[in-house]
Amino acid sequence: TLPSRVQLIDVGPRDGLQNEKPPVPAEIKIGLVHRLQAAGLTEIEVTSFVSPKWVPQMADNAVVMAGIERQVGVRYSVLTPNMVGFQAAVASRPHEIVVFGAASQAFSQKNINCSIEESMERFAPVVQAALAAGIAVRGAMSCTVGCPYEGEVSAASVAHLAGLMKQIGVQRVDVADTIGTGTPLKVQKAIEATLQHFDIDHICGHFHDTYGQALANTLAALQLGVWNFQSSVAGLGGCPYAKGATGNVATEDLVYMLHGMGITTGIDLDKLVDAGAFISDFLGRKPNSNVAQAILNK
Ligand code: HMG
Ligand code: MG
């Protein structure tokens, strides 16, 4: 049976904007977060405390976090790849930090400059420090169905990574299709592999829409009982270390599908479309969302 309610995490301000070349001013990022929470999003991935040499767009992380007028009931998360990033993030009082690893060695090297095993050595103290400080911990698992450098990724590699994440104390994980090459049965295999170590309530679907498969992949995940998903308003984004990958599934498209299936999200679709139009206007393009286009053209 399908879940009756889905919890969405909008990753637009982070996953979405990290790939934009021209700097987006902090006040625009803050304005986007405000519009997302006004639309009913209760989890927002705001920014990442990564090296500004690697991802210049996220260099204003602390400014953005400090500028948000926090709304009760909304949880704000940030990416922290190592202790340097975690220590910088703590002052921003995130509700959740995200360590991010990969199911493929090549992607781990390109994205965070170390092997999968080394990444765990870096993440372990971050996870411990976060939990000790009362901050929740999520682990993003990249390339769970395909890798831009290695091609197909096996379910065994996904299970291995999930096991490592569990061992170091990560509380929940994202099954990510980083480059959006996945199709429903492959995504189900990746989720089933993750289920060896995490229960269904602690697995989030994170699907990029490069090949237009993200909604189908979401449905496949829903059928397994997954009820936490990440998406990006206006379909923003991509990863700078995954060339050619486009944004996450648009939050607007996901919300439309879920509501149409009678699944509640707590999100006001019209306000969400406004949030997407706000950031798309700033970027000088149309929202990368069929639903947003349809509503805006009505
Ligand atoms: P490195 O060069 O190996 O790091 O990078 P290092 O430890 O050798 O340090 C080198 C310098 O960077 C030092 O400064 C450090 O202090 C500094 P220096 O002494 O040269 O002046 N440094 C930092 N500065 C700020 N914040 C930090 C930090 N760490 C070190 N946290 C590192 C390793 C992990 C830092 C680098 O590779 C990096 O920042 N990578 C991030 C890449 C990234 O953000 N990718 C996108 C996010 S992942 C994603 O999008 C996928 C996801 O959406 C899921 C999916 O779809 O798959 C999550
Ligand atoms: Mg991503």
Which ligand minimizes its atom distance to the CA of 19? 1
Q: What is the DSSP track for the chain?
A: ---SB-EEEE-IIIIIGGG-SSPPPHHHHHHHHHHHHHTT--EEEEEE---TTT-GGGTTHHHHHHH----TT-EEEEE--SHHHHHHHHTT--SEEEEEEESSHHHHHHHHSS-HHHHHHHHHHHHHHHHHTT-EEEEEEE-SSEETTTEE--HHHHHHHHHHHHHTT--EEEEEETTS---HHHHHHHHHHHTTTS-GGGEEEEEB-TTS-HHHHHHHHHHTT--EEEEBGGG---BTTBTT---BPBHHHHHHHHHHTT-B----HHHHHHHHHHHHHHHTS--S-HHHHHHHT-
* Helix, strand, coil % over all residues of the chain, rounded to 5: 45, 20, 35
Active site residue 239: yes
Which ligand minimizes its atom distance to the CA of 173? 1
ipTM of predicted complex: 0.98
Pocket perturbation via mutation, ligand 1, pick of 51, 58, 173, 210 by most ligand atoms within 8 A of CB: 51
Query: Tens of pLDDT along 160-218?
Result: 999 999 999 999 999 999 999 999 999 999 999 999 999 999 999 999 999 999 999 99
Q: With cut-offs at 50, 70 and 90, classify the pLDDT of residue 238.
A: low
Q: What percent of the chain has pLDDT over 90?
A: 96
Q: How far apart are CA 70 and CA 150, in angstroms?
A: 41
Give me the phi and psi of 50, to 5 degrees please.
-110, 175
Query: Which structure tokens are listed for 269?
Result: 């679709």
The whole model's pTM is what? 0.97
CB crowding 261-283: b at 16 or more within 10 Å, else e: eebebebebebbbbbbbbbbeeb
Query: Tens of pLDDT along 20-64?
Result: 999 999 999 999 999 999 999 999 999 999 999 999 999 999 999
Q: With cut-offs at 50, 70 and 90, classify the pLDDT of residue 260.
A: very high
Per DSSP, the three-state class of 37 is helix
Q: How far apart are CA 244 and CA 235, in angstroms?
A: 14
pLDDT of residue 242: 76
Q: How many CA atoms lie within 13 A of 195 on its CB side?
A: 13
pLDDT at 243 over 90: no
**Measured CA distances, 43 to 7, 12, 36, 165 (Å):** 8, 11, 9, 22
Tokens 């990863």, located at residue: 239
Q: Is 206 in the pocket of ligand 1 (CB under 6 A)?
A: yes
Selecting among 143, 147, 204, 239, the annotated active-site residue is 239
pLDDT of residue 142: 98
Q: With cut-offs at 50, 70 and 90, classify the pLDDT of residue 246.
A: confident
CB 212 within 8 A of CB 242: no
β pairing state of 151-152 and 146-147: antiparallel
pLDDT of residue 1: 86
pLDDT of residue 37: 98
The residue whose CA is least distant from atom 8 of ligand 1 is: 113
Give me the phi and psi of 165, to 5 degrees please.
-60, -45
pLDDT of residue 62: 98
Q: Residue 298 C-alpha to ligand 2 middle, in angstroms?
A: 31
Q: With cut-offs at 50, 70 and 90, classify the pLDDT of residue 248.
A: very high
